Structure 1
Amino acid sequence: MALLNFLFPPSLFITATSLASFTSLASAGLSEFRGKNLEYSKFFNVASKASDAEKSNKLTLPSRIAMATLYTPAFLAGVSSFAIFPEENLRLLLLKSAISIHFFKRVLESCFVHKYSGEMGVDTMITVLSSYFISSALMIFNQHLTITLPEPAIDLKSPGILLFLLGITGNFYHHLLLSKLRSQGPGKEYKIPKGGLFGVVVCPHYLFEVLIFWGFAFISQTLFSFAYAMGTTCYLLGRSYASRRWYLSKFDDFPRNVKSMIPFLF
């Protein structure tokens, strides 16, 4: 089978977890397309049909605390894996390092870069936190299961490292641009993003985040990592589509030629 030139042979466990990961993320992306958005960032309470009384009783946290919290377990999964799986294997070392670096960056950005306009529901925080933590832990564990297996015929580690570095750099740069749109202090101040790739897509930070996860997949070359990258792509396509729809409803002068996430295509 030609696919096995690129992947380690999947076990039943890897196949099952891969299917579950892709299905859950793809379903979340479809929900975003349909307008049922996870309630964080600009979508906090936008799509909710709950009554005002129900909303007032909803348990929430300040967005800065919630965002930093939801990335921390995945970061700890990456860091702790150095002690749990200390095998001298370059592929596993690269994957553990990339996951740890990515989520450490996200924690730092949540604390020191992003500016926030509201709160996040604890239920949403737990949903996203669980997804990142379980998927990161499974990606590392599934990689551990390949230690004794022969390497795939086609080695994708080098392009994976390049994708990861491009993704993490572009993601940080566009997060920095977004942070400069708002003044200091509280308030729901929104502007049309400019600079970088914002002139061609609404969510270039999502585009580069997708590259990060495909970097993981190329470094790892397990079925799970590819399923996770594909599922993440589906989810962020849906989220970016919802973001574009939100900007079009919010700003009369929003440029219609700006796509959602993929320049000139989508």
Structure 2
Amino acid sequence: MENIKKTIIYLLKIDTLPNWIKYISYSYFIFGAVTSIILIYGVKATYGRYNKNSLFKTLSLNPKVAWMLQEMPSFLIPCYLIFTRIGEYNLYNLFVTSLFVIHYFHRSIIYPMLMKSKNPVPIEIFLSAFTFCTFNGIIQGFSHLLYINYNYENTLTFSTLVGIVLYLSGMFINIEADHILRNLRKKDETGYKIPIGGAFKYITCPNYFGEIVEWIGFFIVGKSLPSLAFACFTIANIGPRALQHHQWYLQKFDDYPKNRKALIPFFL
């Protein structure tokens, strides 16, 4: 048992991290489990098609503004560290951190600019997302750029290549799915349609599947407690939401493809 513990500590670089990062990372597992249980038992996160159930119906933000502001901390905080702590990190530290930054550059700038949805974002969703992205930007940025001392011989491995492939594949699936969803309706159309094309052939929520694959890839590249915690939290948060989406489509459309799974092709 002690050997297993030592192996986990070594593989996840736990002994190189300060306590405050460890505690925040551990909290991801707890909050992820709680969130997953709440969503599995039918409570719906009140954004998008479910925003009619929001707690404060009169307090909401424009979706483009909300997405840009709530995701921005996870982009700006690592960028700030990259430019102000030059000389304190090596190229692999920069590479791992850049994967995180690239995702949030897209999520906080490109994605909102392309967004066509007019569903307002409830204030409680915005504040919770902003808070999470702030903490996540801090622990991912500090951990992978400054605290973890990556050794090239131990990091440039086959597993790293696998992680990069997963990260890029997940990003592609995610972006392609978002593009298909954006272009479902013509200019003056309202209402929902059945998405067709890309990974929608196999699953209802390829955007969620792509994001999960992306962050699993990030964990394999980063090989750290914070990246594992983030990947697990992502699965716990959007996995149950994918199941909710799937049931919603089945109930709304009689001709919805019965062979589509919710989240994982051919499986779930």
Same fold (TM over 0.5): yes
**Aligned partner (choices 197, 207, 218) of residue 195 of structure 1:** 197
1:160–1:90 CA distance, 2 compared to 1 (3 A): farther
Residue aligning to 1:8:
13
Residue aligning to 1:59:
59
DSSP-derived class of the 2:201 partner: coil
CA distance in 1, matches of 2:247, 2:203: 12
Amino acid at match of 2:67: M
Residue aligning to 1:250:
252
**Aligned partner (choices 139, 144, 147) of residue 145 of structure 1:** 147
DSSP-derived class of the 1:197 partner: helix
CA distance in 2, matches of 1:253, 1:64: 32
Does residue 34 of structure 1 match 2:41? yes
Amino acid at match of 2:211: E
Determine if contact 1:171/1:205 at 8 Å carries over to the other structure: yes
**Aligned partner (choices 160, 163, 168) of residue 157 of structure 1:** 160
CA distance in 2, matches of 1:193, 1:109: 22
**Aligned partner (choices 156, 173, 177) of residue 176 of structure 2:** 173
Gaps of 5+ in 2: none
Determine if contact 2:47/2:125 at 8 Å carries over to the other structure: yes
Structure (1/2) with the larger helix percentage: 2
Q: Give the superposition deviation at 1:172.
A: 0.8
DSSP-derived class of the 1:198 partner: helix
Q: Normalized against structure 1, the TM-score is what?
A: 0.87
1:16–1:202 CA distance, 2 compared to 1 (3 A): same
Q: Which moved more, 1:214-223 or 1:143-152?
A: 143-152
Higher normalized contact order (CA 8 Å, seq sep 6+, divided by chain length):
1
Percent identity over the alignment is: 26
Gaps of 5+ in 1: none
Amino acid at match of 2:48: S
Amino acid at match of 1:245: Q
Q: Give the superposition deviation at 1:252.
A: 2.0
Q: Normalized against structure 2, the TM-score is what?
A: 0.86
Residue aligning to 1:263:
265
Residue aligning to 1:119:
120
Determine if contact 1:7/1:222 at 8 Å carries over to the other structure: yes
